[in-house]
């Protein structure tokens, strides 16, 4: 099942309507596929990882051959009692009760946050690990301003920042 890459508006990727109403795991899977498709379209060679390896994707830079470990986080805007302002909320680190890590952006070189709007259009934020620090969560209130705006990129022209050594 491949993601619907219909553009709405022109040159932006969109989330399928079924995924918008689905479980969080469904929207996460589509987010990873859309990020992989966007990186592939930008010229990167993209490999999905198994769950034992760090990151969701490994992107290989076509010019340098350098491998970048990428964690993809996808969120819908939700309004509820714990989030009355309707922010996009991204969990960067979470351990299950058993102590097993269920998600950990700290092990990646880059984290791609995909903020899915009500109409299915996606805003992407490509954030290097050094900018995230030890954060466990990020909340984005508005797509057009704020601290994370400097990392926003169009999916149609996504570029991975070069990790610092």
Structure confidence by residue, pLDDT tens digits, 109-134: 999 999 988 888 889 999 999 999 88
pTM of the model: 0.80
Residue spans of the domains in the chain: they are 17-157
pLDDT at 4 (0 to 100): 37
pLDDT of residue 113: 95
User: What is the band of 144 on the pLDDT scale with cuts at 50, 70, 90?
Assistant: confident
pLDDT tens-digit series, residues 35-76: 999 999 999 999 876 665 667 899 999 999 999 999 999 998
pLDDT at 61: 92
Q: Are strands 93-95 and 101-104 parallel, antiparallel or unpaired?
A: antiparallel
pLDDT category at 11 given cuts 50, 70, 90 is: very low
Show the DSSP H helices in the chain as ranges: 17-21, 24-41, 129-132
| Cα distance between residue 78 and residue 143, in whole Å | 14
Output the pLDDT for position 76. 85
Q: Which CATH architecture has domain 17-157?
A: 3-Layer(aba) Sandwich (3.40)
Contact 129, 104 (CB under 8 A): no
Question: 131 by DSSP, 3-state: which?
Answer: helix
Mean pLDDT in residue range 138-149: 86
pLDDT computed for residue 94 by the predictor: 72
Q: Which residue has the higher pLDDT, 35 or 142?
A: 35
Confidence of residue 12 (pLDDT cuts 50, 70, 90): very low
CA 131 vs. chain centroid, Å, equals 15
């Amino acid at each position: 099942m491949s993601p619907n890459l219909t553009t709405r508006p022109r040159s932006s990727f969109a989330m399928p309507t079924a995924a918008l109403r689905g479980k969080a795991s469904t929207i996460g899977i589509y987010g990873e596929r859309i990020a992989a498709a966007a990186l592939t379209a930008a010229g990167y060679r993209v490999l999905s990882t198994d769950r034992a390896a760090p990151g969701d994707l490994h992107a290989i830079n076509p010019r340098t051959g350098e491998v970048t470990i990428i964690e993809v986080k996808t969120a819908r805007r939700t309004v509820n009692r714990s989030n009355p302002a309707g922010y996009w909320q991204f969990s960067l680190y979470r351990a299950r009760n058993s102590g097993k890590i269920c998600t950990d952006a700290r092990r990646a070189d880059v984290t791609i946050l995909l903020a899915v709007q009500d109409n299915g259009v996606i805003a992407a934020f490509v954030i290097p690990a050094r900018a995230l620090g030890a954060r466990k969560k990020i909340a984005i209130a508005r797509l057009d301003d704020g601290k994370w705006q400097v990392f926003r990129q169009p999916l149609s022209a996504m570029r991975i920042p070069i990790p610092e050594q």
